[in-house]
Structure 1
Amino acid sequence: MKQILNIAHYEIMHIFRERVLLAILFIVPLLYASMFGMVYVSAILQHVPLGIVDLDHSQESRAVVSAFENTSNFKVIPQVSTYADLEAGMKNGLVRAGVVIPADYSQKLAQHQLTQILTVYDGSNLIYGFNTRKYFQQVLNTFSAEHTASYLSGLGMTKQEITNVMDMVSYSMEVWYNPTFSYATFIFMGLVLMIIQQIGLLGIGLTVTREKEENSWLQFLCAAVPQWKIFMGKALPYFIANFFNYGLLLWIAARFVNVKIEGSVGLILLLGLLFDLIIISAGFIVSVYFPNSLLVTRYLMLISVPIFVASGYSWPSTHIPVAINMLLRTMPYTWMAEGFRLLTVKNLSFAYIADKIMVLILMAAATTFFALTFPKRRKPPAQIGTAVNSALDLPNKNL
């Protein structure tokens, strides 16, 4: 028992001497729980952006519009008034669902003929897709029942006649972009991009720290070799390997996981190259400024989960608090994931992802600049904290 207590005493002293480890054990869990709670604070997805195309412009069609306006599940976007507006809005994200009322709606209604109201919604994001489908059914079923009750209120009809009238209004439903509701299409590539990011960062992030731990980094600093050559020599193998993984995982996703991957091959490659360049440059910068491999591994492990959860890939960014949204907009993964989904799932052209590509270009330029011009001087060893492959004194029992 005494040996167990001595080991426990040593471990406790080590935890309190290592501030990063102390934060991981006691602060990070609370931080994660708080952030996840803020991300999912709305709990229920409401106020889905809805475009209504009223081709009839009658009193009866306005009643349908009012039914959608008077529910908190939808938020009617007034800018959408034509089918072309609806298509454009679904592409650029202005709306996530649409209702099209036919031009002969009131006429068929008056003649007691079958009348269809077209409803469409964006299936590229399953969170929107599943909820929107349910909300459509709720609103239209309620509207149909109210219409029938109002119509029959002044008529003395038999039960069979009432049944026939209740079947008068129906609607058709289309799912755009992800009609099979494939969860793999929805989430798999987001996880793949996160794997590529973390593996790339970890690989390049341990290069300089490994040299520091083996006391060989000084050879690079003292050699008559400019910084940009050191960076390129160190980064090139990881850049090639990471881009190879990008292509390999795309092939596996499309071939074996049946993920929907469409769009321009050139744009897919461009996104991958920019994302890869940012990852490798940022990882090299981290490796230059961090004192050892252990700290690099810790911090890279900590950032993966919150970046993915709060990036807007798995939960709509419109329902994430503004402060978290602004913070995640500084991360390349957020822009890469958005652009990749728009390109491969919605099969959109360059015009719809130009802003994502431009941001990635700026991030690539910034990270590459700092990687190419890192200070060629040796940083003194840290006086406190864990150092890999070093002789850290054990805590004294008198502490």
Structure 2
Amino acid sequence: MRQILNIAHYEIVHILKERVLFLMIFFVPLLYASLFGSVYVSAILQHVPLGIVDLDHSQESRAVISAFENTPNFRVIPEVATYADLEAGMKDGKVRAGVVIPKDYAQKLSQHQLTQILTIYDGSNLIYGFNTRKYFQQVLNTFSADHTAAYLSGLGMTQQEIINVMDTVSFSMEVWYNPTFSYATFIFMGLALMIFQQIGILGIGLTVTREKEQNSWLQFLSAAVPSWKIFSGKALPYFIANFFNYGLLMWIAARFVQVKIEGPVALILLLGLLFDLIVVSAGFIISVYTPNSLLVTRYLMLISVPIFVASGYSWPSTHIPAVINRLVQLMPYTWMAEGFRVVTVKNLGFDYIADKIMVLLVMAAVSLFFALTFSKRRKPPAPRGVAVNGSIDYPDKQFLHS
């Protein structure tokens, strides 16, 4: 145990000594979480810039305009008065949606003829498009119902008779788990867990490569210390730091970004511990078998975006090609992200994520086995090159002029 603690102390000294590594482990996760949190802090998209083209200029058309002005979901842009203004606003992004009221709107309305109000929305941004379409339906359905009720009242029908006519067929709608359609609840923790994975792997992934670049890894290989103790000592500081960051990210998400985080705390901690163990073990293995720090960072940069995009977190896995689905199922992030969402957003228990827990357990056991039993046989030194996390000493003159 003393050997493990000595190695852990040695690793902590390096973390504190190397400013970049220290900032990367303790500051970058907070920085990224704060950045993403500030982006998604509004959670619900409201005040969509709306241009209204009134070609009728009647009392009835002004009632339509009032319906859109009296909802917080839209913000009417007064500068838009013509169809050309609407087109120009949509092109430069000042307007994201439009309403065009035909010039014979009041006349057709008085004659009980079919009249149509044209609604337009910008589909180039799917978040704007989805929400705008929903808001249009809400405003126009309410407006249509109010207009129908006013017409029936003008025919002399009582309030109860109007209710009976309009409620011939009724329906109710409920949204479960994310009733406010909060985009922060949908996407933020997926990004936060990706930060946790990438920073966690990168932190420990540079430990052994640093020793190789400083020519000190030979001391670990030749010392009378078993492989499992070397791994345990080097991994312990990063395991603790990662778990601290895991809790910090959740606190930021719940406290400042208003992300929905519910569910059994024990399950949330269990998922974090398993994922942390996989991240630390995998990062150490990568560091052992990668010749230098530059390659470690390259590998992680190459896999980070594909893992997130193909994991099924932001796009349903049922609509991802089967071959890609099978590949991403080999990645722990896929199981961790979905298990975390099931627990925290749906507030479900162990029975609903038992399969994900078992997969993470197997992945943790496999990665831990290879990390604990890495070969201490010395390999030929890698050609000296650019070191991302190398010695703080200046390179010698021979290296500079080679």
TM-score by structure 1 length? 0.57
Q: How does 1:101-250 map to 2 (within 5 A)?
A: 168-250=168-250
**Residue 366 of structure 1: how far off its partner (Å):** 0.2
Matched, 1:286 2:262: no
> Which residue of structure 2 aligns with residue 351 of structure 1?
351
Q: Residues 268 and 343 of structure 1 are in contact (CA less than 8 Å); yes or no, is this contact kept in structure 2?
A: yes
- Per the alignment, residue 25 of structure 1 pairs with none
Task: Give 3-state SS (helix, strand or coil) of 2:175's partner.
Answer: strand
Deviation per CA, 1:266-310, whole angstroms, max 9, x where unpaired?
A: 000000000000000000000000000000011111111111111
What is the CA deviation profile of residues 237-257 of structure 1, one whole-angstrom value per residue up to 9, with x for unaligned ones? 000000000011111111111
Q: Residue 224 of structure 1: CA displacement? A: 0.3
What is the CA deviation profile of residues 187-218 of structure 1, one whole-angstrom value per residue up to 9, with x for unaligned ones?
A: 00001100100110000000000000000000
Alignment of 1:48-87 (within 5 A): none
Residue pair 1:201, 1:283 contacting (<8 A) in 2 also? yes
Considering Cα pairs closer than 8 Å and 6+ residues apart, tell me whether 1 or 2 has the greater RCO: 2
Distance 1:325 1:368 in 2: 25
| 1:256 corresponding residue in structure 2 | 256
Gaps of 5+ in 1: 1-125, 142-158
Taking the aligned partners of 2:167 and 2:261, their CA distance within structure 1 comes to 40
Q: Does 1:326 align with 2:329?
A: no
Distance, in Å, in 2 between the alignment partners of 1:264 and 1:176 is 18
Q: Using the TM superposition, give the Cα deviation of residue 340 of structure 1 relative to its aligned residue in structure 2, in angstroms.
A: 0.2
1:381 CA drift (Å)? 2.5
One-letter code of the match for 1:257? V
Structure 1 segment 268-347 matched on structure 2, within 5 A: 268-347=268-347
Q: For this pair of structures, how many residues does the alignment match?
A: 252
Counterparts of 1:305 and 1:160, CA distance in 2: 62
Structure 1 runs (4+) deviating above 4 angstroms are 163-167, 383-395
Which residue type is aligned with residue 363 of structure 2? M
2:292 and 2:382 in contact (8 A); partners too: no
Q: Which amino acid aligns with 1:289?
A: Y
Shift of 1:327: 0.4
Kindly provide the CA deviation profile for residues 309-344 of structure 1, in whole angstroms up to 9, marking residues without a partner as x: 110111111101111110000000000001000000
Write the distance in 2 (CA, Å) between the matches of 1:203 and 1:326.
Answer: 28
1:364 aligns to 2:395 (yes or no): no
Counterpart code for 1:269: L
Distance in 2 of aligned mates of 1:354 and 1:235: 27
In the superposition, relative to structure 1, how do residues 392 and 333 fare at CA in structure 2: closer, same or farther (>3 Å)? farther
Distance 1:296 1:169, change over 3 A: same
Are the counterparts in 1 of residues 254 and 260 from structure 2 also a CA contact under 8 Å? yes
Q: After TM superposition, list the pairs within 5 Å mapping 1:9-24 onto structure 2.
A: none
What secondary structure is seen at the aligned counterpart in 1 of 2:173? Answer: strand
The alignment's C-alpha RMSD in Å is 3.3
In the aligned structure 1, how far is the partner of 2:232 from the partner of 2:323?
36
Alpha-carbon distance, 1:160 to partner: 7.1
- Supply the distance in 1 between the matched residues of 2:384 and 2:260 (Cα, whole angstroms): 50
- Distance between the aligned counterparts of 2:377 and 2:203, measured in 1? 23
User: Could you say if the C-alpha distance between residues 178 and 237 of structure 1 is closer, same or farther in structure 2, counting changes exceeding 3 Å?
Assistant: same
**Alpha-carbon contact 2:221-2:377 (below 8 Å) kept:** yes
Amino acid at match of 1:323: V
- Tell me the amino acid that sits aligned with residue 206 of structure 1: L
- Please, what TM-score do these two structures have when normalized by structure 2? 0.57
Distance in 2 (CA, whole Å) between partners of 1:378 and 1:234 is: 18
Q: Partner letter of residue 234 of structure 1?
A: K
CA distance in 1, matches of 2:379, 2:281: 20
Deviations 1:30-68 (A, max 9, x none): xxxxxxxxxxxxxxxxxxxxxxxxxxxxxxxxxxxxxxx
Shift of 1:387: 6.1
Shift of 1:380: 1.1
Deviation at 1:392, TM superposition (A): 6.6
Give 1:285's aligned amino acid.
I
1:268, 1:387 → 2: CA distance? Answer: 37
Output the amino acid matched with 1:261.
I
**In the superposition, relative to structure 1, how do residues 384 and 213 fare at CA in structure 2: closer, same or farther (>3 Å)?**
closer
Displacement of 1:384 in angstroms is 8.9
User: For residues 220 and 166 of structure 1, do their structure 2 counterparts lie closer, same or farther at Cα, with a shift above 3 Å needed?
Assistant: same
Deviation at 1:385, TM superposition (A): 7.0
What is the CA-CA distance between 1:393 and the residue it aligns to? 8.6
Alpha-carbon distance in 1 for matches of 2:310, 2:176: 25
Offset from partner CA, 1:364-398 (integer Å, 9 cap, x none): 00000000000002221335975666777989xxx
Counterpart amino acid of 2:269?
A: L
SS of equivalent to 2:174: strand
- Helix, strand or coil at the partner of 1:326: helix
Post-superposition offset of 1:170: 2.6
Determine the C-alpha separation between the residues in 2 that align with 1:267 and 1:219. Answer: 41
Alpha carbons 1:386, 1:392 under 8 Å: kept: no
* Deviation of the 1:171 alpha carbon: 1.7
